[in-house]
């Protein structure tokens, strides 16, 4: 491996870690192994701490290609819990309202998922890293400030219902860059008239890069430690 010339590392981000946690850990391990003070490491698309799955890391000169990978479509699997909403649209915040699921049928759920495919004007969650006058929206939301974010056009290429175990709806979604799956979960429940929030999320693919080809952070650290640094070019 030539980390300075550039490597692409596919990482299975653990639940509870931020994307920057992974970047910082991998950068530290690479610097320690190579005995250098600096090495460029960046990620190609944030995953929330409450989501796990595929994270693309680029090192060295490959960091210049990050925008190319960020623009690729993403595929996720996850679970929406119907009948309850949260301010963050996921499990980061407590349930703020509950709704009856009486009258809700599987046919309605399948039909609504199909209706949501295509170009969608999506409102990002107020508990997001979007910036307002230099401040992150989630910082303002946590401080109790009013947060208004501009809607953004995104594309939901496929919204597939995998199985239904009410109140849980298991899904797979393929979507464009910048799509918030939390917002999809919220809008899905709202459109059904029963409310909903995202209760689990796993990124399965970014373009042609698959989670099945990724390694855990620990597995990558073990591989880095086994490298023969005499055969690694250090710039």
Which token pair is 214?
């990724």
d(C-alpha 182, C-alpha 79), whole Å: 10
Structure tokens at 66: 């990050």
Cα gap 180→85, rounded to integer Å: 16
Selected catalytic residue, list 48, 52, 90, 187:
48
Residue 48 known to be catalytic: yes
How are beta strands 52-59 and 196-206 bridged, if at all? parallel
Tell me the CA end-to-end span of the chain in Å, nearest whole number.
13
Instruction: Give the CA-trace dihedral at 160, 163, 167, 172, to 10 degrees.
Output: -30
Q: How far apart are CA 73 and CA 54, in angstroms?
A: 13
Q: Is the dihedral of CA 22, 28, 29, 30 positive or negative?
A: positive
Chain-centre distance for alpha carbon 168: 20
Catalytic residue annotation: 48
């Amino acid at each position: 491996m030539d980390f300075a010339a550039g490597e692409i590392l596919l990482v299975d981000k653990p639940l509870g870690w931020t994307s920057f946690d992974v970047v910082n850990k991998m950068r530290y391990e690479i610097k320690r192994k190579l005995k250098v003070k600096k090495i460029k490491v960046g990620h190609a698309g944030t995953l929330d701490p409450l989501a796990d799955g595929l994270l693309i890391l680029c090192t060295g000169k490959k960091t210049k290609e990050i925008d190319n990978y960020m623009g690729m479509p993403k595929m996720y699997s996850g679970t929406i819990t119907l009948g309850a909403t949260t301010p963050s649209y996921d499990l980061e915040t407590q349930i703020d309202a509950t709704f009856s699921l009486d009258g809700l049928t599987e046919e309605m759920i399948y039909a609504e998922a199909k209706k949501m495919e295509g170009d969608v004007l999506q409102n990002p969650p107020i508990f997001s890293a979007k910036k307002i006058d230099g401040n992150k929206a989630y910082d303002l939301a946590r401080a109790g400030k009013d947060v208004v974010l501009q809607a953004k056009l995104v594309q939901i290429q496929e919204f597939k219902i995998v199985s239904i175990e009410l109140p849980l709806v298991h899904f797979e979604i393929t979507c464009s860059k910048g799509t918030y799956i939390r917002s999809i979960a919220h809008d899905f429940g709202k459109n059904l008239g029963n409310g909903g929030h995202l209760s689990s999320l796993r990124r399965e693919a970014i373009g042609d890069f698959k989670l099945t080809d990724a390694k855990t952070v620990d597995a990558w650290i073990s591989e880095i430690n086994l490298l023969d640094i005499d055969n690694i070019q250090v710039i």
